[in-house]
A and B are shown apart, each in its own frame.
With several copies, the nearest count.
Chain A
Amino acid sequence: MIQAKCQIVEKKQVAEKIFVMVFEHAVIASKSKPGQFVHINLGPGSVLRRPFSVYDTYRDTFSILFQVVGSGTNRLATYRPAQSLDVIGPLGHGYPLEGEKPVLVGGGMGLASLKLLHKRFIDSKKDDVRVILGFSSNVCAVEWPEADVCTEDGSLGKKGIVTGLLNEELKSGADAVYACGPEAMLKKVGDATKGKKIPTYLCLERYMACGVGACLSCVCETKTGLKRVCREGPVFKSDDIIFNETGEKKNSAKKKKET
Protein backbone atom coordinates (compact mmCIF):
# COMPACT_ATOMS: atom_id res chain seq x y z
CA MET A 1 0.00 0.00 0.00
CA ILE A 2 1.27 3.41 -0.96
CA GLN A 3 -0.16 6.93 -1.24
CA ALA A 4 0.59 8.73 -4.48
CA LYS A 5 -0.56 11.45 -6.84
CA CYS A 6 -1.73 9.55 -9.88
CA GLN A 7 -2.29 11.22 -13.21
CA ILE A 8 -5.45 10.41 -15.11
CA VAL A 9 -4.34 9.25 -18.54
CA GLU A 10 -7.69 8.27 -19.95
CA LYS A 11 -11.35 8.59 -19.17
CA LYS A 12 -14.13 7.05 -21.15
CA GLN A 13 -17.83 6.81 -20.64
CA VAL A 14 -18.95 3.21 -21.21
CA ALA A 15 -22.65 3.55 -20.41
CA GLU A 16 -25.02 6.08 -18.93
CA LYS A 17 -23.37 7.39 -15.76
CA ILE A 18 -20.64 4.73 -15.99
CA PHE A 19 -17.01 5.60 -16.58
CA VAL A 20 -13.65 3.92 -16.87
CA MET A 21 -10.82 6.05 -15.56
CA VAL A 22 -7.23 5.07 -16.19
CA PHE A 23 -4.46 6.27 -13.86
CA GLU A 24 -0.72 6.10 -14.27
CA HIS A 25 1.28 4.62 -11.43
CA ALA A 26 3.76 1.81 -11.89
CA VAL A 27 3.85 0.63 -8.29
CA ILE A 28 0.10 0.57 -7.69
CA ALA A 29 -0.40 -1.07 -11.11
CA SER A 30 2.15 -3.78 -10.50
CA LYS A 31 1.13 -4.55 -6.92
CA SER A 32 -2.64 -4.69 -7.42
CA LYS A 33 -4.19 -8.11 -7.12
CA PRO A 34 -7.72 -9.07 -8.20
CA GLY A 35 -10.27 -7.95 -5.61
CA GLN A 36 -8.10 -5.27 -4.10
CA PHE A 37 -9.18 -1.65 -4.15
CA VAL A 38 -7.88 1.89 -4.27
CA HIS A 39 -9.01 4.75 -2.02
CA ILE A 40 -9.31 8.02 -3.90
CA ASN A 41 -9.23 11.56 -2.56
CA LEU A 42 -11.75 13.63 -4.52
CA GLY A 43 -9.97 16.94 -3.92
CA PRO A 44 -10.65 20.08 -1.85
CA GLY A 45 -13.99 20.16 -0.08
CA SER A 46 -14.52 16.44 0.34
CA VAL A 47 -14.05 14.86 3.74
CA LEU A 48 -13.83 11.16 2.95
CA ARG A 49 -12.08 9.31 0.16
CA ARG A 50 -14.05 6.88 -1.96
CA PRO A 51 -13.12 3.21 -2.51
CA PHE A 52 -13.11 1.57 -5.95
CA SER A 53 -12.02 -1.89 -7.04
CA VAL A 54 -8.97 -2.08 -9.25
CA TYR A 55 -10.72 -2.84 -12.52
CA ASP A 56 -7.73 -3.55 -14.67
CA THR A 57 -4.00 -2.99 -14.88
CA TYR A 58 -1.87 -2.55 -17.97
CA ARG A 59 1.85 -1.81 -17.85
CA ASP A 60 2.24 1.31 -15.68
CA THR A 61 -1.46 2.03 -15.45
CA PHE A 62 -4.42 0.84 -13.45
CA SER A 63 -8.06 1.63 -14.03
CA ILE A 64 -11.33 1.83 -12.16
CA LEU A 65 -14.86 1.37 -13.43
CA PHE A 66 -17.38 3.45 -11.59
CA GLN A 67 -20.98 4.50 -11.64
CA VAL A 68 -22.19 7.95 -10.65
CA VAL A 69 -24.50 7.33 -7.69
CA GLY A 70 -24.01 10.38 -5.44
CA SER A 71 -22.02 13.51 -4.82
CA GLY A 72 -18.62 11.80 -4.61
CA THR A 73 -18.84 9.81 -7.80
CA ASN A 74 -20.40 12.83 -9.47
CA ARG A 75 -17.35 14.84 -8.50
CA LEU A 76 -15.01 12.09 -9.67
CA ALA A 77 -16.66 12.14 -13.07
CA THR A 78 -15.72 15.81 -13.49
CA TYR A 79 -11.99 15.04 -13.55
CA ARG A 80 -10.25 14.89 -16.90
CA PRO A 81 -7.10 13.38 -18.33
CA ALA A 82 -3.90 15.23 -17.34
CA GLN A 83 -5.36 16.04 -13.90
CA SER A 84 -4.02 14.10 -10.92
CA LEU A 85 -5.74 12.58 -7.92
CA ASP A 86 -4.32 11.39 -4.62
CA VAL A 87 -4.73 7.62 -4.47
CA ILE A 88 -4.00 5.10 -1.71
CA GLY A 89 -3.64 1.52 -2.86
CA PRO A 90 -3.73 -1.28 -3.41
CA LEU A 91 -5.75 -2.01 -0.28
CA GLY A 92 -7.31 -5.06 1.30
CA HIS A 93 -7.02 -8.74 0.52
CA GLY A 94 -8.08 -9.91 -2.90
CA TYR A 95 -9.39 -13.20 -4.28
CA PRO A 96 -7.29 -16.35 -4.05
CA LEU A 97 -7.20 -18.27 -7.35
CA GLU A 98 -8.86 -21.64 -6.83
CA GLY A 99 -10.70 -24.27 -8.87
CA GLU A 100 -10.46 -25.59 -12.41
CA LYS A 101 -13.89 -24.40 -13.44
CA PRO A 102 -14.43 -21.15 -11.56
CA VAL A 103 -17.54 -18.99 -11.93
CA LEU A 104 -17.38 -15.25 -11.53
CA VAL A 105 -20.65 -13.57 -10.58
CA GLY A 106 -21.01 -9.81 -10.79
CA GLY A 107 -24.01 -7.70 -9.84
CA GLY A 108 -24.06 -4.14 -11.12
CA MET A 109 -20.75 -2.39 -10.57
CA GLY A 110 -19.57 -5.44 -8.64
CA LEU A 111 -18.23 -6.63 -11.96
CA ALA A 112 -15.40 -4.13 -11.54
CA SER A 113 -13.67 -6.37 -9.02
CA LEU A 114 -13.88 -9.44 -11.27
CA LYS A 115 -12.22 -8.26 -14.49
CA LEU A 116 -8.68 -8.61 -13.20
CA LEU A 117 -9.55 -11.94 -11.60
CA HIS A 118 -10.76 -13.22 -14.95
CA LYS A 119 -7.52 -12.07 -16.55
CA ARG A 120 -5.44 -13.88 -13.93
CA PHE A 121 -7.38 -17.10 -14.42
CA ILE A 122 -6.75 -16.90 -18.16
CA ASP A 123 -3.08 -16.06 -17.51
CA SER A 124 -2.79 -19.18 -15.39
CA LYS A 125 -4.36 -21.25 -18.16
CA LYS A 126 -7.66 -21.80 -16.39
CA ASP A 127 -9.58 -21.25 -19.60
CA ASP A 128 -12.75 -22.84 -18.33
CA VAL A 129 -13.79 -19.76 -16.39
CA ARG A 130 -17.35 -18.52 -16.62
CA VAL A 131 -18.58 -14.99 -16.06
CA ILE A 132 -22.16 -14.18 -15.10
CA LEU A 133 -23.24 -10.56 -14.91
CA GLY A 134 -26.54 -9.22 -13.67
CA PHE A 135 -27.87 -5.72 -14.04
CA SER A 136 -31.10 -4.09 -13.04
CA SER A 137 -31.59 -3.00 -16.64
CA ASN A 138 -29.86 -2.46 -19.95
CA VAL A 139 -29.08 1.13 -19.06
CA CYS A 140 -26.22 0.31 -16.74
CA ALA A 141 -24.87 -2.71 -18.58
CA VAL A 142 -21.18 -2.80 -19.37
CA GLU A 143 -19.79 -4.87 -22.17
CA TRP A 144 -17.81 -8.00 -21.35
CA PRO A 145 -17.87 -10.31 -24.38
CA GLU A 146 -17.22 -13.57 -22.49
CA ALA A 147 -19.99 -12.95 -19.98
CA ASP A 148 -23.48 -14.39 -19.73
CA VAL A 149 -25.67 -11.42 -19.00
CA CYS A 150 -29.05 -11.23 -17.36
CA THR A 151 -31.19 -8.24 -16.48
CA GLU A 152 -34.08 -7.97 -14.09
CA ASP A 153 -36.28 -6.42 -16.76
CA GLY A 154 -35.02 -8.59 -19.59
CA SER A 155 -33.83 -5.57 -21.55
CA LEU A 156 -30.46 -7.23 -22.12
CA GLY A 157 -29.46 -10.90 -22.08
CA LYS A 158 -31.70 -13.24 -20.14
CA LYS A 159 -34.48 -11.98 -17.96
CA GLY A 160 -33.80 -12.85 -14.35
CA ILE A 161 -31.20 -12.68 -11.64
CA VAL A 162 -27.68 -14.08 -11.55
CA THR A 163 -28.40 -16.98 -9.22
CA GLY A 164 -30.48 -18.62 -11.94
CA LEU A 165 -27.47 -18.76 -14.24
CA LEU A 166 -25.18 -19.65 -11.36
CA ASN A 167 -27.24 -22.71 -10.46
CA GLU A 168 -26.90 -23.97 -14.04
CA GLU A 169 -23.11 -23.59 -13.84
CA LEU A 170 -23.05 -25.38 -10.50
CA LYS A 171 -24.97 -28.26 -12.05
CA SER A 172 -22.48 -28.48 -14.88
CA GLY A 173 -19.48 -28.79 -12.58
CA ALA A 174 -18.31 -25.36 -11.47
CA ASP A 175 -15.83 -25.85 -8.62
CA ALA A 176 -15.21 -22.32 -7.26
CA VAL A 177 -17.38 -19.21 -7.03
CA TYR A 178 -16.36 -15.57 -6.86
CA ALA A 179 -18.95 -12.86 -6.45
CA CYS A 180 -19.20 -9.14 -5.98
CA GLY A 181 -22.36 -7.05 -5.94
CA PRO A 182 -25.22 -5.95 -3.71
CA GLU A 183 -25.31 -7.78 -0.39
CA ALA A 184 -28.72 -9.31 -1.08
CA MET A 185 -27.21 -10.93 -4.17
CA LEU A 186 -24.09 -12.07 -2.31
CA LYS A 187 -26.24 -13.73 0.29
CA LYS A 188 -28.07 -15.67 -2.44
CA VAL A 189 -24.78 -16.69 -4.03
CA GLY A 190 -23.61 -17.92 -0.66
CA ASP A 191 -26.83 -19.89 -0.20
CA ALA A 192 -26.42 -21.47 -3.64
CA THR A 193 -23.14 -23.17 -2.67
CA LYS A 194 -23.90 -23.73 0.99
CA GLY A 195 -22.85 -27.23 2.11
CA LYS A 196 -21.51 -27.98 -1.39
CA LYS A 197 -17.76 -27.83 -0.59
CA ILE A 198 -17.32 -25.38 -3.42
CA PRO A 199 -15.03 -22.57 -2.25
CA THR A 200 -17.04 -19.37 -2.49
CA TYR A 201 -15.51 -15.92 -2.15
CA LEU A 202 -17.63 -12.84 -1.70
CA CYS A 203 -16.38 -9.28 -2.03
CA LEU A 204 -18.20 -6.84 0.27
CA GLU A 205 -18.68 -3.13 -0.26
CA ARG A 206 -19.14 -1.13 2.92
CA TYR A 207 -18.90 2.56 3.72
CA MET A 208 -15.30 3.32 4.47
CA ALA A 209 -13.47 6.18 6.11
CA CYS A 210 -9.79 5.29 6.58
CA GLY A 211 -9.53 2.28 4.25
CA VAL A 212 -6.58 0.89 6.22
CA GLY A 213 -8.18 -0.62 9.32
CA ALA A 214 -7.85 2.30 11.71
CA CYS A 215 -11.38 3.66 12.16
CA LEU A 216 -13.56 0.55 12.52
CA SER A 217 -16.34 1.97 10.38
CA CYS A 218 -16.48 -0.79 7.75
CA VAL A 219 -17.03 -3.76 10.02
CA CYS A 220 -18.76 -6.96 9.10
CA GLU A 221 -19.87 -9.75 11.41
CA THR A 222 -18.15 -13.09 10.78
CA LYS A 223 -18.00 -16.46 12.53
CA THR A 224 -14.68 -15.38 14.04
CA GLY A 225 -15.88 -11.99 15.20
CA LEU A 226 -16.13 -8.50 13.74
CA LYS A 227 -13.85 -8.02 10.74
CA ARG A 228 -12.78 -4.83 8.99
CA VAL A 229 -13.85 -5.05 5.36
CA CYS A 230 -11.04 -2.70 4.30
CA ARG A 231 -8.30 -4.71 5.99
CA GLU A 232 -9.34 -8.33 6.53
CA GLY A 233 -11.58 -8.11 3.43
CA PRO A 234 -13.08 -6.93 1.16
CA VAL A 235 -13.04 -10.59 0.07
CA PHE A 236 -14.34 -13.11 2.60
CA LYS A 237 -15.15 -16.79 2.45
CA SER A 238 -18.88 -17.11 2.08
CA ASP A 239 -19.18 -19.48 5.08
CA ASP A 240 -17.57 -16.96 7.39
CA ILE A 241 -19.90 -14.06 6.80
CA ILE A 242 -22.90 -13.61 9.09
CA PHE A 243 -25.28 -11.69 6.89
CA ASN A 244 -28.03 -11.15 9.46
CA GLU A 245 -26.17 -8.27 10.99
CA THR A 246 -26.60 -6.23 7.84
CA GLY A 247 -30.29 -6.80 7.68
CA GLU A 248 -30.56 -6.34 11.43
CA LYS A 249 -31.25 -2.64 11.08
CA LYS A 250 -34.39 -2.97 9.04
CA ASN A 251 -35.53 -6.10 10.87
CA SER A 252 -35.41 -4.54 14.28
CA ALA A 253 -37.22 -1.51 12.93
CA LYS A 254 -40.01 -3.78 11.80
CA LYS A 255 -40.00 -5.71 15.03
CA LYS A 256 -40.41 -2.58 17.12
CA LYS A 257 -43.33 -1.54 15.01
CA GLU A 258 -45.04 -4.90 15.51
CA THR A 259 -44.76 -4.82 19.28
Chain B
Amino acid sequence: MDISIDLAGIKLNNPVIAAAGTFGNSDEYGQLVNISLLGAVTTKGLSIEPWKGNPYPRMVETVGGLINSVGLQNKGVKDFIADDLPLLRALDAKVIVNIVGKTIEEYAQVASVLDNEVGVDAVEVNISCPNIKKGGSSFGTDPKIAAQVVAAVKKKTKKVVIAKLTPNVTDVSEVAKQVELAGADAISLINTVKAMSVDADTRQSKLATLYGGLSGPAVKPIALRMVHEVSQTVKVPIIGMGGISNTKDALEFIIAGAQAVAVGTATFNNPQTMINIINDIKDYLKDNDLTLKKLSGSLKSN
Protein backbone atom coordinates (compact mmCIF):
# COMPACT_ATOMS: atom_id res chain seq x y z
CA MET B 1 0.00 0.00 0.00
CA ASP B 2 1.32 3.40 -0.96
CA ILE B 3 1.59 5.77 1.97
CA SER B 4 4.09 8.13 0.43
CA ILE B 5 3.38 11.83 0.68
CA ASP B 6 4.45 14.99 -1.04
CA LEU B 7 5.59 17.44 1.57
CA ALA B 8 5.96 20.79 -0.13
CA GLY B 9 7.70 19.09 -3.03
CA ILE B 10 9.74 16.51 -1.14
CA LYS B 11 8.59 12.93 -1.55
CA LEU B 12 8.51 11.03 1.72
CA ASN B 13 8.02 7.27 1.56
CA ASN B 14 5.66 7.61 4.47
CA PRO B 15 4.40 10.41 6.70
CA VAL B 16 6.40 9.47 9.81
CA ILE B 17 9.30 11.69 10.82
CA ALA B 18 11.79 11.61 13.69
CA ALA B 19 11.42 14.85 15.68
CA ALA B 20 14.34 17.24 16.13
CA GLY B 21 16.56 16.68 19.13
CA THR B 22 15.22 13.25 19.92
CA PHE B 23 16.88 11.11 17.28
CA GLY B 24 20.43 12.36 17.34
CA ASN B 25 22.29 13.71 14.36
CA SER B 26 23.07 10.61 12.36
CA ASP B 27 23.12 6.96 13.33
CA GLU B 28 22.67 7.09 17.12
CA TYR B 29 19.62 4.86 16.79
CA GLY B 30 21.02 2.99 13.80
CA GLN B 31 21.63 -0.26 15.63
CA LEU B 32 18.04 -0.41 16.88
CA VAL B 33 16.01 1.14 14.06
CA ASN B 34 16.23 0.73 10.32
CA ILE B 35 16.35 4.47 9.77
CA SER B 36 15.91 4.11 6.03
CA LEU B 37 12.33 2.97 6.63
CA LEU B 38 11.34 6.34 8.11
CA GLY B 39 9.73 9.07 6.08
CA ALA B 40 12.32 11.57 7.25
CA VAL B 41 14.67 12.29 10.10
CA THR B 42 15.08 15.72 11.63
CA THR B 43 18.45 16.49 13.15
CA LYS B 44 19.13 18.35 16.38
CA GLY B 45 18.95 22.16 16.35
CA LEU B 46 22.03 23.45 14.52
CA SER B 47 23.62 26.85 14.97
CA ILE B 48 26.31 28.68 13.06
CA GLU B 49 28.89 28.22 15.85
CA PRO B 50 28.93 25.38 18.40
CA TRP B 51 26.58 25.83 21.37
CA LYS B 52 27.30 24.33 24.76
CA GLY B 53 23.74 23.98 25.95
CA ASN B 54 22.70 24.05 29.59
CA PRO B 55 24.33 22.41 32.60
CA TYR B 56 23.31 18.98 33.87
CA PRO B 57 20.62 17.94 34.99
CA ARG B 58 18.80 18.54 31.75
CA MET B 59 15.90 16.17 32.01
CA VAL B 60 13.17 15.23 34.46
CA GLU B 61 10.30 12.83 34.08
CA THR B 62 6.79 14.04 34.96
CA VAL B 63 3.40 12.32 34.81
CA GLY B 64 3.01 11.32 31.16
CA GLY B 65 5.84 13.53 30.01
CA LEU B 66 9.33 14.83 30.43
CA ILE B 67 10.84 18.26 30.80
CA ASN B 68 14.15 18.91 29.08
CA SER B 69 16.54 21.81 29.21
CA VAL B 70 19.21 20.52 26.85
CA GLY B 71 19.47 24.05 25.56
CA LEU B 72 20.30 23.25 21.95
CA GLN B 73 23.79 21.92 22.54
CA ASN B 74 25.30 21.30 19.11
CA LYS B 75 28.61 21.22 17.30
CA GLY B 76 27.83 23.97 14.82
CA VAL B 77 27.01 23.72 11.15
CA LYS B 78 30.56 23.12 9.90
CA ASP B 79 31.27 20.06 11.99
CA PHE B 80 27.77 18.79 11.26
CA ILE B 81 28.46 18.87 7.54
CA ALA B 82 31.80 17.17 8.00
CA ASP B 83 30.86 14.53 10.60
CA ASP B 84 27.17 13.75 10.26
CA LEU B 85 25.85 14.70 6.87
CA PRO B 86 27.73 11.94 4.99
CA LEU B 87 25.95 9.30 7.09
CA LEU B 88 22.59 11.01 6.63
CA ARG B 89 23.06 11.22 2.86
CA ALA B 90 23.34 7.46 2.70
CA LEU B 91 19.85 6.98 4.14
CA ASP B 92 16.67 6.37 2.19
CA ALA B 93 14.83 8.63 4.61
CA LYS B 94 14.68 12.32 3.78
CA VAL B 95 16.75 14.67 5.89
CA ILE B 96 15.36 17.75 7.61
CA VAL B 97 17.88 19.96 9.38
CA ASN B 98 16.55 21.88 12.36
CA ILE B 99 18.24 25.28 12.58
CA VAL B 100 18.59 27.74 15.42
CA GLY B 101 20.04 31.16 16.11
CA LYS B 102 20.20 33.90 18.67
CA THR B 103 19.65 36.62 16.10
CA ILE B 104 17.76 36.62 12.81
CA GLU B 105 21.11 36.84 11.01
CA GLU B 106 22.37 33.66 12.66
CA TYR B 107 19.38 31.71 11.38
CA ALA B 108 20.00 33.06 7.89
CA GLN B 109 23.68 32.14 8.09
CA VAL B 110 23.02 28.50 8.95
CA ALA B 111 20.47 28.26 6.16
CA SER B 112 22.93 29.80 3.76
CA VAL B 113 25.71 27.34 4.63
CA LEU B 114 23.34 24.39 4.26
CA ASP B 115 21.95 25.60 0.97
CA ASN B 116 24.82 24.09 -1.00
CA GLU B 117 24.73 20.73 0.70
CA VAL B 118 23.46 17.70 -1.12
CA GLY B 119 21.45 15.47 1.18
CA VAL B 120 19.67 18.21 3.06
CA ASP B 121 16.07 18.07 1.90
CA ALA B 122 14.61 20.77 4.09
CA VAL B 123 15.48 23.16 6.87
CA GLU B 124 13.19 23.40 9.84
CA VAL B 125 13.36 26.81 11.46
CA ASN B 126 13.13 26.38 15.20
CA ILE B 127 11.78 29.73 16.30
CA SER B 128 11.56 28.65 19.94
CA CYS B 129 15.08 29.89 20.63
CA PRO B 130 15.60 32.79 22.99
CA ASN B 131 15.82 36.01 21.00
CA ILE B 132 18.81 37.67 22.63
CA LYS B 133 17.95 41.06 21.16
CA LYS B 134 14.47 40.93 22.69
CA GLY B 135 15.54 40.03 26.21
CA GLY B 136 15.39 36.30 25.71
CA SER B 137 11.72 35.75 24.91
CA SER B 138 11.43 33.32 22.05
CA PHE B 139 11.27 34.52 18.42
CA GLY B 140 8.22 32.37 17.91
CA THR B 141 5.97 34.09 20.44
CA ASP B 142 5.69 37.24 18.32
CA PRO B 143 4.03 36.60 14.95
CA LYS B 144 5.91 39.46 13.28
CA ILE B 145 9.35 38.40 14.46
CA ALA B 146 8.55 34.78 13.64
CA ALA B 147 7.73 35.88 10.12
CA GLN B 148 10.96 37.89 9.88
CA VAL B 149 13.03 34.85 10.81
CA VAL B 150 11.30 32.72 8.20
CA ALA B 151 11.64 35.40 5.53
CA ALA B 152 15.34 35.80 6.28
CA VAL B 153 15.91 32.06 5.99
CA LYS B 154 13.81 31.83 2.83
CA LYS B 155 16.05 34.43 1.21
CA LYS B 156 19.15 32.34 1.81
CA THR B 157 18.03 28.94 0.65
CA LYS B 158 16.34 27.11 -2.19
CA LYS B 159 15.57 24.21 0.13
CA VAL B 160 12.12 23.58 1.50
CA VAL B 161 11.62 25.76 4.57
CA ILE B 162 9.56 24.41 7.45
CA ALA B 163 8.60 26.79 10.27
CA LYS B 164 8.42 25.09 13.64
CA LEU B 165 5.99 26.80 15.96
CA THR B 166 6.04 27.10 19.71
CA PRO B 167 2.87 26.29 21.69
CA ASN B 168 3.59 29.01 24.24
CA VAL B 169 1.33 31.57 22.58
CA THR B 170 -2.20 32.88 22.90
CA ASP B 171 -3.01 32.41 19.23
CA VAL B 172 -0.97 29.84 17.36
CA SER B 173 -2.92 30.27 14.15
CA GLU B 174 -1.93 33.92 13.97
CA VAL B 175 1.74 32.90 14.10
CA ALA B 176 1.04 30.22 11.51
CA LYS B 177 -0.64 32.71 9.20
CA GLN B 178 2.28 35.12 9.41
CA VAL B 179 4.99 32.53 8.75
CA GLU B 180 2.98 31.24 5.80
CA LEU B 181 2.81 34.75 4.41
CA ALA B 182 6.56 35.05 4.98
CA GLY B 183 7.07 32.09 2.68
CA ALA B 184 7.17 28.98 4.88
CA ASP B 185 6.66 25.93 2.66
CA ALA B 186 5.38 23.85 5.56
CA ILE B 187 4.65 24.24 9.24
CA SER B 188 5.56 21.89 12.06
CA LEU B 189 4.17 22.01 15.58
CA ILE B 190 4.35 21.78 18.52
CA ASN B 191 7.68 22.40 20.10
CA THR B 192 7.83 21.83 23.87
CA VAL B 193 5.60 23.63 26.37
CA LYS B 194 7.39 25.88 28.88
CA ALA B 195 7.29 24.03 32.19
CA MET B 196 8.88 23.59 35.59
CA SER B 197 9.49 20.95 38.21
CA VAL B 198 10.55 21.57 41.79
CA ASP B 199 12.29 19.27 44.23
CA ALA B 200 10.44 19.75 47.51
CA ASP B 201 13.45 18.48 49.48
CA THR B 202 16.12 20.79 48.08
CA ARG B 203 13.58 23.50 47.16
CA GLN B 204 15.32 23.96 43.83
CA SER B 205 14.30 23.38 40.25
CA LYS B 206 14.89 19.74 39.35
CA LEU B 207 16.70 20.98 36.26
CA ALA B 208 19.87 23.04 36.30
CA THR B 209 17.81 25.77 34.65
CA LEU B 210 14.65 27.27 36.12
CA TYR B 211 12.31 26.23 33.31
CA GLY B 212 12.42 23.58 30.61
CA GLY B 213 10.21 22.27 27.85
CA LEU B 214 7.50 19.66 28.39
CA SER B 215 6.96 16.93 25.79
CA GLY B 216 5.39 13.50 25.63
CA PRO B 217 1.84 12.10 25.95
CA ALA B 218 0.92 14.74 28.54
CA VAL B 219 0.97 17.48 25.89
CA LYS B 220 -0.77 15.51 23.15
CA PRO B 221 -4.26 16.99 23.65
CA ILE B 222 -2.78 20.50 23.49
CA ALA B 223 -0.72 19.73 20.39
CA LEU B 224 -3.68 18.16 18.64
CA ARG B 225 -5.86 21.20 19.29
CA MET B 226 -3.15 23.49 17.92
CA VAL B 227 -2.62 21.37 14.81
CA HIS B 228 -6.36 21.54 14.19
CA GLU B 229 -6.44 25.31 14.69
CA VAL B 230 -3.52 25.85 12.35
CA SER B 231 -4.98 23.51 9.73
CA GLN B 232 -8.05 25.74 9.64
CA THR B 233 -5.86 28.76 8.95
CA VAL B 234 -3.07 27.85 6.52
CA LYS B 235 -2.81 26.03 3.20
CA VAL B 236 0.76 24.73 3.50
CA PRO B 237 1.25 21.18 4.74
CA ILE B 238 1.51 20.55 8.47
CA ILE B 239 3.80 18.20 10.36
CA GLY B 240 1.97 17.40 13.58
CA MET B 241 3.81 16.37 16.72
CA GLY B 242 3.60 16.42 20.48
CA GLY B 243 3.14 13.25 22.46
CA ILE B 244 2.58 10.87 19.58
CA SER B 245 3.27 7.41 21.00
CA ASN B 246 1.28 4.98 18.90
CA THR B 247 -0.69 4.62 15.70
CA LYS B 248 -3.94 5.93 17.18
CA ASP B 249 -2.15 9.10 18.24
CA ALA B 250 -0.67 9.55 14.77
CA LEU B 251 -4.07 9.03 13.16
CA GLU B 252 -5.63 11.63 15.45
CA PHE B 253 -3.13 14.24 14.21
CA ILE B 254 -3.67 13.35 10.56
CA ILE B 255 -7.45 13.41 10.94
CA ALA B 256 -7.18 16.78 12.72
CA GLY B 257 -5.34 18.23 9.75
CA ALA B 258 -1.70 17.14 9.61
CA GLN B 259 -0.12 15.76 6.44
CA ALA B 260 2.75 14.17 8.31
CA VAL B 261 3.59 13.38 11.93
CA ALA B 262 6.76 13.46 13.97
CA VAL B 263 7.64 11.34 16.99
CA GLY B 264 10.02 12.49 19.70
CA THR B 265 9.73 11.49 23.34
CA ALA B 266 8.05 8.17 22.54
CA THR B 267 11.21 6.99 20.80
CA PHE B 268 13.04 7.11 24.12
CA ASN B 269 10.44 4.75 25.55
CA ASN B 270 10.35 2.49 22.54
CA PRO B 271 12.67 3.06 19.59
CA GLN B 272 10.30 0.96 17.44
CA THR B 273 7.44 3.46 17.83
CA MET B 274 7.87 5.04 14.40
CA ILE B 275 8.29 1.71 12.61
CA ASN B 276 5.15 0.38 14.31
CA ILE B 277 3.18 3.45 13.27
CA ILE B 278 4.31 3.12 9.66
CA ASN B 279 3.13 -0.49 9.54
CA ASP B 280 -0.12 0.02 11.40
CA ILE B 281 -1.21 3.09 9.43
CA LYS B 282 -1.26 0.85 6.38
CA ASP B 283 -3.59 -1.60 8.12
CA TYR B 284 -5.88 1.17 9.26
CA LEU B 285 -6.16 2.65 5.79
CA LYS B 286 -6.88 -0.78 4.31
CA ASP B 287 -9.49 -1.61 6.95
CA ASN B 288 -11.20 1.73 6.50
CA ASP B 289 -10.80 1.83 2.74
CA LEU B 290 -9.07 5.17 2.91
CA THR B 291 -5.99 6.85 1.51
CA LEU B 292 -3.73 9.16 3.47
CA LYS B 293 -4.92 12.05 1.34
CA LYS B 294 -8.56 11.38 2.18
CA LEU B 295 -7.74 10.87 5.82
CA SER B 296 -5.82 14.08 6.29
CA GLY B 297 -8.07 16.77 7.70
CA SER B 298 -11.11 14.49 7.50
CA LEU B 299 -12.39 15.36 10.98
CA LYS B 300 -16.18 15.35 10.93
CA SER B 301 -17.96 18.06 12.81
CA ASN B 302 -20.04 16.92 15.75
Contacts and interface: CB of A to CB of B under 8 A. Distances in A.
Question: Does chain A touch chain B in the assembled complex, meaning CB atoms less than 8 Å apart?
Answer: yes
B66 A1 contact: no
B55 A215 contact: no
Interface in B52-67: 52-53, 55-62, 64-66
Contacts of B168: none
A226 B73 contact: yes
Interface in A33-72: 41, 46-49
Interface residues of A, number: 35
A217 B58 contact: yes
B153 to A, nearest CB: 24
B204 A253 contact: yes
Interface string B58-80: 11111011101010010000000
Q: Is the interface of A mostly helix, strand, loop or mixed?
A: loop
A216 B60 contact: no
Interface of B, helix, strand, loop or mixed by DSSP: loop
B170 interface: no
A8 B302 CA distance: 41
Of B60, B64, B271, most A-chain CB atoms within 10 Å: B271
Of the listed residues B44, B65, B265, B269, the one surrounded by the most CB atoms of chain A closer than 10 A to its CB is: B269
B269 A215 contact: no
A45 B66 CA distance: 13
A226 B55 CA distance: 10
Contacts of B29: 210, 212, 214
Contacts of A48: 61, 66, 268-269
B15 interface: no
A78 interface: no
Interface string A194-213: 00000000000011111111
A217 B55 contact: no
Interface in A141-182: none
B22 A41 contact: no
B270 interface: yes
Contacts of B62: 47
A240 to B, nearest CB: 16
Interface in A235-257: 245-246, 248-249, 252-253, 256-257
A86 B271 CA distance: 11
A2 B271 CA distance: 11
Given A214-B22, A219-B73, A47 B57 contact: no
B24 interface: yes
Contacts of B24: 210, 212-215
Interface of A: 1-3, 41, 46-49, 86, 88, 206-220, 226, 231, 245-246, 248-249, 252-253, 256-257
